Amino acid sequence: EAKSRGRATYCLFQDGMGDAMRKRRQIEEDLHVAIADGELELYYQPRLDLETGHISSYEALIRWHHPQKGLISPGDFIPVAENSGQIIQIGKWVLHTALKDAAGPLAHARISVNVSPVQFRDTEFAEEVRQSLAASGVPAERLELEITENLLIEDDERALSILSSLKATGIKIALDDFGVGYSSLGYLSRFPFDTIKIDRSFIQQRGYNANSQAIIDTVVRLGKALNMSIVAEGVEDLDSLLFLRDSGCDELQGFFIGRPEPLSRMVLDTSPEIAAALAVPSTPVTSR
Protein backbone atom coordinates (compact mmCIF):
# COMPACT_ATOMS: atom_id res chain seq x y z
CA GLU A 1 0.00 0.00 0.00
CA ALA A 2 2.76 2.37 0.97
CA LYS A 3 4.50 1.54 -2.24
CA SER A 4 1.53 2.27 -4.49
CA ARG A 5 0.71 5.46 -2.64
CA GLY A 6 4.34 6.48 -2.89
CA ARG A 7 4.17 5.88 -6.58
CA ALA A 8 0.97 7.89 -6.98
CA THR A 9 2.45 10.79 -5.04
CA TYR A 10 5.54 10.56 -7.17
CA CYS A 11 3.46 10.80 -10.34
CA LEU A 12 1.43 13.74 -9.07
CA PHE A 13 4.60 15.53 -8.09
CA GLN A 14 6.07 14.89 -11.53
CA ASP A 15 2.98 16.21 -13.29
CA GLY A 16 2.95 19.30 -11.09
CA MET A 17 6.60 19.93 -11.86
CA GLY A 18 5.94 19.51 -15.55
CA ASP A 19 3.16 22.07 -15.45
CA ALA A 20 5.26 24.63 -13.62
CA MET A 21 8.16 24.08 -15.97
CA ARG A 22 5.96 24.31 -19.04
CA LYS A 23 4.51 27.53 -17.70
CA ARG A 24 7.95 29.02 -17.10
CA ARG A 25 9.15 27.97 -20.52
CA GLN A 26 6.06 29.49 -22.11
CA ILE A 27 6.64 32.78 -20.30
CA GLU A 28 10.26 32.69 -21.41
CA GLU A 29 9.29 32.15 -25.04
CA ASP A 30 6.60 34.82 -24.93
CA LEU A 31 9.06 37.24 -23.32
CA HIS A 32 11.37 37.05 -26.32
CA VAL A 33 8.49 38.26 -28.45
CA ALA A 34 7.47 40.81 -25.82
CA ILE A 35 10.86 42.49 -25.86
CA ALA A 36 11.04 42.53 -29.66
CA ASP A 37 7.43 43.59 -30.22
CA GLY A 38 7.24 46.35 -27.64
CA GLU A 39 4.76 44.67 -25.30
CA LEU A 40 6.57 46.03 -22.25
CA GLU A 41 5.62 49.34 -20.72
CA LEU A 42 6.74 51.38 -17.74
CA TYR A 43 4.16 52.56 -15.26
CA TYR A 44 5.07 55.36 -12.90
CA GLN A 45 4.07 55.62 -9.26
CA PRO A 46 4.45 59.00 -7.56
CA ARG A 47 6.35 59.65 -4.36
CA LEU A 48 5.16 62.46 -2.11
CA ASP A 49 7.78 64.78 -0.63
CA LEU A 50 6.54 65.64 2.86
CA GLU A 51 8.70 68.74 3.05
CA THR A 52 6.97 70.44 0.11
CA GLY A 53 3.71 68.49 0.01
CA HIS A 54 4.25 67.81 -3.70
CA ILE A 55 5.23 64.87 -5.88
CA SER A 56 9.00 64.77 -5.96
CA SER A 57 9.76 61.60 -7.83
CA TYR A 58 8.39 58.53 -9.58
CA GLU A 59 9.19 54.84 -9.35
CA ALA A 60 9.25 53.05 -12.69
CA LEU A 61 7.35 49.74 -12.48
CA ILE A 62 7.34 47.41 -15.44
CA ARG A 63 4.16 45.97 -16.97
CA TRP A 64 3.70 43.44 -19.76
CA HIS A 65 0.78 43.74 -22.16
CA HIS A 66 0.49 40.12 -23.25
CA PRO A 67 -1.54 39.83 -26.46
CA GLN A 68 -3.56 36.87 -25.09
CA LYS A 69 -3.19 37.03 -21.31
CA GLY A 70 -3.63 40.78 -20.88
CA LEU A 71 -1.72 42.82 -18.33
CA ILE A 72 0.93 40.80 -16.49
CA SER A 73 2.53 42.00 -13.23
CA PRO A 74 6.28 41.94 -12.71
CA GLY A 75 5.89 39.39 -9.92
CA ASP A 76 4.75 36.92 -12.57
CA PHE A 77 7.59 37.34 -15.03
CA ILE A 78 10.59 39.05 -13.43
CA PRO A 79 11.58 35.87 -11.54
CA VAL A 80 11.39 33.89 -14.81
CA ALA A 81 13.44 36.53 -16.60
CA GLU A 82 16.01 36.48 -13.80
CA ASN A 83 16.27 32.73 -14.11
CA SER A 84 16.66 32.76 -17.89
CA GLY A 85 18.98 35.75 -18.01
CA GLN A 86 16.44 37.78 -20.02
CA ILE A 87 16.41 40.28 -17.16
CA ILE A 88 19.67 41.70 -18.54
CA GLN A 89 17.98 42.77 -21.74
CA ILE A 90 14.80 43.82 -19.96
CA GLY A 91 16.82 45.81 -17.42
CA LYS A 92 18.55 47.71 -20.21
CA TRP A 93 15.22 48.51 -21.78
CA VAL A 94 13.84 49.70 -18.42
CA LEU A 95 16.79 51.98 -17.78
CA HIS A 96 16.78 53.36 -21.31
CA THR A 97 13.01 54.00 -21.26
CA ALA A 98 12.99 55.53 -17.78
CA LEU A 99 15.82 57.88 -18.71
CA LYS A 100 14.11 58.83 -21.96
CA ASP A 101 10.98 59.71 -19.98
CA ALA A 102 13.08 61.49 -17.36
CA ALA A 103 14.48 63.68 -20.13
CA GLY A 104 10.96 64.37 -21.46
CA PRO A 105 7.58 64.13 -19.75
CA LEU A 106 9.10 63.55 -16.30
CA ALA A 107 11.62 66.36 -16.58
CA HIS A 108 10.28 67.95 -13.39
CA ALA A 109 10.91 64.91 -11.22
CA ARG A 110 13.46 62.40 -10.03
CA ILE A 111 13.13 58.85 -11.18
CA SER A 112 13.64 55.50 -9.43
CA VAL A 113 14.45 52.29 -11.26
CA ASN A 114 14.43 48.78 -9.78
CA VAL A 115 17.54 46.75 -10.44
CA SER A 116 17.71 42.98 -10.14
CA PRO A 117 20.71 41.32 -8.46
CA VAL A 118 21.20 39.39 -11.70
CA GLN A 119 21.92 42.65 -13.55
CA PHE A 120 24.86 43.23 -11.21
CA ARG A 121 26.46 39.96 -12.35
CA ASP A 122 26.82 41.50 -15.81
CA THR A 123 30.32 42.97 -15.80
CA GLU A 124 29.16 45.77 -18.11
CA PHE A 125 26.39 46.93 -15.79
CA ALA A 126 27.97 49.98 -14.17
CA GLU A 127 29.46 51.19 -17.43
CA GLU A 128 26.12 50.80 -19.20
CA VAL A 129 24.30 52.80 -16.57
CA ARG A 130 26.86 55.58 -16.95
CA GLN A 131 26.56 55.50 -20.74
CA SER A 132 22.74 55.50 -20.76
CA LEU A 133 22.77 58.37 -18.33
CA ALA A 134 25.22 60.39 -20.40
CA ALA A 135 23.28 59.69 -23.61
CA SER A 136 20.01 60.82 -22.00
CA GLY A 137 21.41 64.09 -20.71
CA VAL A 138 19.63 63.52 -17.39
CA PRO A 139 21.74 64.70 -14.43
CA ALA A 140 22.95 61.75 -12.34
CA GLU A 141 21.31 63.19 -9.22
CA ARG A 142 17.87 62.67 -10.79
CA LEU A 143 18.35 58.91 -11.14
CA GLU A 144 17.93 56.53 -8.23
CA LEU A 145 18.56 52.78 -8.39
CA GLU A 146 16.52 50.58 -6.04
CA ILE A 147 18.24 47.43 -4.91
CA THR A 148 17.24 44.79 -2.37
CA GLU A 149 19.27 43.11 0.30
CA ASN A 150 19.43 39.93 -1.79
CA LEU A 151 22.03 41.67 -3.89
CA LEU A 152 24.29 42.25 -0.92
CA ILE A 153 23.93 38.68 0.25
CA GLU A 154 24.87 37.24 -3.12
CA ASP A 155 28.21 38.90 -3.54
CA ASP A 156 28.94 41.40 -0.91
CA GLU A 157 32.29 42.82 -1.97
CA ARG A 158 31.53 43.01 -5.67
CA ALA A 159 28.08 44.50 -5.16
CA LEU A 160 29.39 47.11 -2.77
CA SER A 161 32.16 48.14 -5.13
CA ILE A 162 29.79 48.48 -8.12
CA LEU A 163 27.37 50.49 -5.98
CA SER A 164 30.18 52.74 -4.79
CA SER A 165 31.33 53.45 -8.33
CA LEU A 166 27.76 54.30 -9.37
CA LYS A 167 27.27 56.48 -6.34
CA ALA A 168 30.49 58.31 -7.12
CA THR A 169 28.93 59.47 -10.39
CA GLY A 170 26.12 61.11 -8.42
CA ILE A 171 23.45 58.44 -8.90
CA LYS A 172 21.34 57.83 -5.80
CA ILE A 173 21.09 54.34 -4.31
CA ALA A 174 18.03 53.17 -2.40
CA LEU A 175 17.64 50.04 -0.29
CA ASP A 176 14.20 48.68 -1.23
CA ASP A 177 11.86 46.55 0.90
CA PHE A 178 13.86 47.26 4.02
CA GLY A 179 13.05 45.08 6.99
CA VAL A 180 11.98 41.92 5.18
CA GLY A 181 14.27 39.23 3.86
CA TYR A 182 17.68 38.81 5.36
CA SER A 183 18.03 42.37 6.58
CA SER A 184 21.25 43.13 8.29
CA LEU A 185 22.11 46.38 9.97
CA GLY A 186 25.67 45.70 8.89
CA TYR A 187 24.73 46.65 5.33
CA LEU A 188 23.64 50.07 6.50
CA SER A 189 27.00 50.74 8.09
CA ARG A 190 29.04 49.32 5.20
CA PHE A 191 27.27 51.04 2.37
CA PRO A 192 26.18 54.69 2.32
CA PHE A 193 22.67 54.36 0.87
CA ASP A 194 20.96 57.61 0.05
CA THR A 195 17.53 56.22 0.76
CA ILE A 196 15.89 53.48 2.81
CA LYS A 197 12.45 52.29 1.70
CA ILE A 198 10.57 50.73 4.60
CA ASP A 199 8.73 47.67 3.32
CA ARG A 200 5.01 48.10 2.99
CA SER A 201 4.25 45.17 5.32
CA PHE A 202 5.25 47.35 8.32
CA ILE A 203 3.04 50.19 7.15
CA GLN A 204 0.11 47.86 6.56
CA GLN A 205 0.36 46.15 9.95
CA ARG A 206 0.80 49.44 11.74
CA GLY A 207 -2.86 49.80 12.73
CA TYR A 208 -3.06 46.53 14.64
CA ASN A 209 0.54 45.73 15.45
CA ALA A 210 2.25 48.03 17.94
CA ASN A 211 5.59 46.41 17.13
CA SER A 212 5.33 47.59 13.53
CA GLN A 213 4.87 51.14 14.75
CA ALA A 214 7.93 50.85 16.97
CA ILE A 215 9.95 49.43 14.07
CA ILE A 216 8.93 52.31 11.78
CA ASP A 217 9.95 54.85 14.43
CA THR A 218 13.27 53.12 14.96
CA VAL A 219 14.10 52.82 11.25
CA VAL A 220 13.32 56.51 10.79
CA ARG A 221 15.65 57.48 13.62
CA LEU A 222 18.34 55.12 12.38
CA GLY A 223 18.10 56.54 8.88
CA LYS A 224 18.34 60.11 10.17
CA ALA A 225 21.39 59.24 12.21
CA LEU A 226 23.02 57.72 9.12
CA ASN A 227 22.02 60.71 7.01
CA MET A 228 19.73 58.66 4.78
CA SER A 229 16.36 59.69 3.46
CA ILE A 230 13.39 57.56 4.57
CA VAL A 231 10.59 56.51 2.24
CA ALA A 232 7.56 54.56 3.46
CA GLU A 233 5.91 52.24 0.92
CA GLY A 234 2.32 51.02 0.85
CA VAL A 235 0.56 54.13 2.15
CA GLU A 236 -3.11 53.28 1.58
CA ASP A 237 -5.00 55.77 3.75
CA LEU A 238 -4.89 59.22 5.35
CA ASP A 239 -4.28 57.80 8.82
CA SER A 240 -1.09 56.13 7.67
CA LEU A 241 -0.02 59.24 5.83
CA LEU A 242 -0.36 61.41 8.92
CA PHE A 243 1.26 58.85 11.19
CA LEU A 244 4.24 58.48 8.84
CA ARG A 245 4.62 62.23 8.50
CA ASP A 246 4.63 62.58 12.28
CA SER A 247 7.15 59.73 12.51
CA GLY A 248 9.56 61.82 10.45
CA CYS A 249 9.53 60.01 7.09
CA ASP A 250 10.84 62.13 4.23
CA GLU A 251 8.77 60.73 1.38
CA LEU A 252 5.68 58.54 1.03
CA GLN A 253 4.56 56.15 -1.68
CA GLY A 254 1.35 54.16 -1.93
CA PHE A 255 -2.07 53.83 -3.52
CA PHE A 256 -3.43 56.70 -1.38
CA ILE A 257 -0.94 59.07 -2.99
CA GLY A 258 -1.22 57.52 -6.40
CA ARG A 259 -1.24 54.16 -8.15
CA PRO A 260 1.32 53.22 -10.76
CA GLU A 261 0.00 54.57 -14.09
CA PRO A 262 1.28 54.79 -17.65
CA LEU A 263 2.63 58.18 -18.73
CA SER A 264 -0.70 59.08 -20.34
CA ARG A 265 -2.56 58.80 -17.01
CA MET A 266 0.23 59.66 -14.63
CA VAL A 267 -0.55 61.23 -11.26
CA LEU A 268 0.96 64.70 -11.53
CA ASP A 269 0.41 66.22 -8.12
CA THR A 270 -0.92 65.80 -4.62
CA SER A 271 -4.70 65.33 -4.42
CA PRO A 272 -6.75 68.16 -2.87
CA GLU A 273 -7.52 65.86 0.09
CA ILE A 274 -3.84 65.27 0.82
CA ALA A 275 -2.95 68.90 0.20
CA ALA A 276 -5.62 69.95 2.70
CA ALA A 277 -4.43 67.42 5.28
CA LEU A 278 -0.86 68.65 4.88
CA ALA A 279 -2.01 72.27 4.67
CA VAL A 280 -0.19 72.95 1.42
CA PRO A 281 -1.60 74.68 -1.68
CA SER A 282 -2.94 72.11 -4.12
CA THR A 283 -3.30 71.78 -7.82
CA PRO A 284 -5.85 69.11 -8.65
CA VAL A 285 -4.83 65.66 -9.89
CA THR A 286 -5.16 65.71 -13.64
CA SER A 287 -4.21 63.67 -16.62
CA ARG A 288 -1.74 64.93 -19.10
Verify binding: residue 99, ligand C2E, rule CB under 6 A. no
114 — phi, psi (to 5°)?
-80, 135
Contact 178, 196 (CB under 8 A): yes
Nearest distance, CB of residue 228 and Mg ion, angstroms: 15
Nearest distance, CB of residue 146 and Mg ion, angstroms: 4
- Segment contacting ligand C2E by CB under 6 A, of 16-24, 29-37, 58-66, 269-277: 58-66
Among 75, 123, 208, 264, binds ligand C2E (CB under 6 A): 75
245, amino acid identity: R
Verify binding: residue 105, ligand C2E, rule CB under 6 A. no
Nearest distance, CB of residue 241 and Mg ion, angstroms: 17
267, amino acid identity: V
Among 10, 13, 182, 255, binds ligand C2E (CB under 6 A): 255
Verify binding: residue 116, ligand C2E, rule CB under 6 A. yes
User: What is the per-residue binding string for ligand C2E in 217-236, x denoting contact by CB under 6 A?
Assistant: -----------------xxx
**Between residue 14 and residue 43, which ones bind ligand C2E under the rule CB under 6 A?**
none
Which alpha helices (DSSP H) does the chain contain, by range?
A: 2-37, 74-84, 86-103, 117-121, 125-136, 149-154, 156-168, 185-190, 200-205, 210-225, 238-247, 272-278
21, amino acid identity: M
Verify binding: residue 198, ligand C2E, rule CB under 6 A. no
197 Cβ partners below 8 Å, 6+ apart? 146, 174, 175, 176, 177, 178, 231, 232, 233, 253
Which residues contribute to the site for ligand C2E (CB under 6 A)? 45, 60-62, 73-75, 78, 94, 114-116, 146, 176-177, 200, 234-236, 253-255, 260
